[in-house]
A and B are shown apart, each in its own frame.
Chain A
Amino acid sequence: MKRAVFANRWLPILLLVPQVVIIGIFFYWPAIHALRSSFFLQDPFGFGETFVGIENYTSLFHLPAYGRAAMFTVSFTLLVTILSLSIALLFAVKADKVLRGAKTYRTLLMWVYAVAPPVAGVIGIILFNQSWGPLTDLFKFFGWDFALGVNYYDTAFAMVLIAVWKQIPVNFIFFLSGLQSIPKSVREAAMIDNRSASGRFWDVTFPLLAPTGFFLLITNITYSLFDTFGIIDTVVKGEPGNNPMTLVYKIYVDGFRGNDLGGSSAQSVILMVLVLAMTVVQFRLVERRIHYT
């Protein structure tokens, strides 16, 4: 077996440097700062600080509001991930079968991808406007007194809906290309073995899509946790009030709106540990069951 080796031992290091510097500046340096700040209570202007040990952490666990934000984050992430993955998969499977006008359908399904999260949020609050939103009117017609920003669950519903709508196109693109990379011979062989379309899908297509699915699972969880910030910020219109919020948004509210640097640093450290743990679990447990071709 042939091994590719660099002639000069400094070259690989040199090639790595830009990446390491970027990670160092934009991840490790702030992460260390956050870790340090999480043990202090600091004057926002930077004039004084007091070492408080783990008080910033313990006080979080005495706050029902933090627990509620955590619970909302979990449910929100699960709902957004599951819904956007399954709907996108359904669309991809159906679009894969379309022969006439396939490109038009695909483009129509994809173009929402170009919408930035805050813009998606703005479109959402227009659709759900309290007095003249078309979706609010539609719900009212069916007897649902939908009130964005007033009722906790209604606002949560709107956030999930907007986040899913925004994410479906990305998943759709990946699933579609995943489907198209399944060899024709495999499909034909399956056709002979099993006449039921749904049976073929679950026994053959789905396992072959697993690598794509796993990749999307991770990106979708990351999306729901972090990238939905713009949507949530727009939907709550700058007043958190009694609206639902994710842990990431709470970090922003406490740190950048409330100027509580210690408290929000502690929250971001917790989040960092959680994401780390989740990544390990994903790669250790889930990835083992996936076969890459």
Chain B
Amino acid sequence: MTRLSILGAAALSVVANGAFAQTEISWWHAMGGALGETVNQIATDFNASQSEYKITPAFKGTYEEALTAGIAAFRAGEQPNILQVFDAGAATVIGAKGATVPVQDLLTENGVDFDINDYISGVRYFYADSDDKMIGMPFNSSSPIMYYNMQAMEAAGVEAPKTWEEFETVTAPALVKAGYTPLAQSHSPWIFAENFMSRHNLPYATNDNGYTGTDTEILINAPEIKMHWTHVKEWLDEGYYAWFGAGWNDNQKPFEEGKVAIWLGSSGSFGGLSQLDLPFEFSATYLPYWKSVTTEPKQTFIGGAALFAMSGKSAEENKATAAFFQYLTSPEVQYMWHRETGYVPVTVAAYDMAKEDGYYDRKPAAEVGIKQLSLPAGEYTKGYRMGFYVQIRDVMNREFGRILGDETSVDDGFATIETEANALLARFAKTQAN
């Protein structure tokens, strides 16, 4: 009797194990707050949608912290299956060949159809290598857009400006008269450097913006962007622009409070802004451009982050990762992610689905990011690939702060950025030597 029951229990447990023999994979990300909840929702839905695989997401702090955690784990042989890496870390993770399995290979090897043209044009090549092979799966893709307080615009009797000339001569003076601070923005290197270059189709770095070589030099010390920053400083002094430091939220808050009329932020901020019960109606439109620099403004770069499949995992786990990526890029999931967060849908099919559903008729501002990313491409609008870019951004943030704080001039500030960035790029090239 006892023996029988033991046998029975053993048999039961075998059955149970068989039923739950799932392949488990891990996903490290940097999506906090409401974004993190949506990430968890996607993981739960994926786990519920099938029984072979189980994904476990883990929040690892800021983008920088997530990348550092991933690197440290990789060196200790404890890397997750999927690591979220942001735009500025792309060169680091793509440069380390062997750290990741290119997503394009991962998908095709596991029998998932892959066509890079399924992705919307703005996100296609940012995380690709020099042969246009997609290395990282674009996940939370955004672009800087211009949000504006509709009541403020009405009170001042102006429209959202299309060009910076219009902002300077018409919009800003009227908004000041109406009692508003006209402008704030949350990320100087991203909005007023990287995407300034893209919008005006200006080269950002040698070697095709850094994609085709490591002996890259930055081309930021250029007359057009220095002209822009000279104006930005003047706007600050005249009260047309307010700067609250390098922190993202410190610059977004005054817009939410209704003090600042125009705020340049991420298209991915849309979800968060919509959920806040703001005391005014807001809308969004394209990032302005300088008529004096170009009459044909181009698309912008994507920001945000991509998902990388880390190497050193079993074929079975890679298969699970491929299955998850397939699930993640399905139109339904992309549309849900787009709706919940404001990040752009990365595939054409998901974009079409949102259009057919009439989402943009209900919320026109939600389409601005993806429309801006789908504007005509130019020679220099694919993206950029530079190593030690986190530090280069820190250098920019520092010098931009010094320019705005009267500690240095525009000319000296940009000369410093150029020198220090090029020194960092040369140092990064040496880390990739063998």
Contacts and interface: CB of A to CB of B under 8 A. Distances in A.
> In the complex, which of the residues B388, B431, B432 has the most CB atoms of chain A within 10 Å of its own CB atom?
B431
Interface of B: 62, 64, 67-68, 71, 74-75, 92-93, 95-99, 243-248, 250, 253-254, 257, 388, 390-391, 394-395, 397-402, 404-405, 407, 416, 420, 423-424, 427, 430-434
Given A149-B247, A149-B250, 16 more contacts: A44-B96, A45-B71, A47-B99, A49-B434, A50-B430, A65-B395, A65-B420, A131-B253, A239-B397, A240-B394, A241-B246, A241-B397, A242-B398, A242-B405, A257-B64, A257-B394
B55 to A, nearest CB: 23
A147 B254 CA distance: 14
A48 interface: yes
A36 B75 CA distance: 17
B431 A42 contact: yes
B430 A258 contact: no
A149 B433 CA distance: 38
Interface string A76-94: 0000000000000000000
Q: Could you tell me the dominant secondary structure of chain A's interface residues?
A: loop
Nearest to A64: B416
Contact of A240 (B75, B246, B400): B246
Contact of B431 (A50, A130, A253): A50
Interface in A240-270: 240-243, 253-254, 256-260, 262-263
Given A239-B246, A257-B68, A59 B423 contact: yes
A50 B434 contact: yes
A152 interface: yes
Contact of B401 (A47, A52, A63, A241): A241
A259 B388 contact: yes
10 contacts: A47-B98, A59-B423, A131-B254, A131-B257, A150-B245, A241-B401, A242-B399, A257-B68, A257-B391, A259-B68
B431 A242 contact: no
Nearest to B187: A239
A143 interface: no
A67 to B, nearest CB: 13
A219 interface: no
B68 A152 contact: no
A151 interface: yes
B245 to A, nearest CB: 3
Interface in A45-83: 45-50, 52, 59, 62-65
Interface residues of A, number: 40
B390 A45 contact: no
Nearest to B259: A131
B427 A260 contact: yes
Nearest to B98: A47
A45 B245 contact: no
Contacts of A238: 62, 64, 247
A243 B62 CA distance: 19
A237 B397 CA distance: 14
B431 A258 contact: no
A102 B428 CA distance: 61
A130 B250 contact: yes
Interface in A115-167: 130-131, 147-152
A183 B106 CA distance: 78
Contacts of A45: 71, 74-75, 92-93, 96, 98-99
Interface in A4-47: 41-47
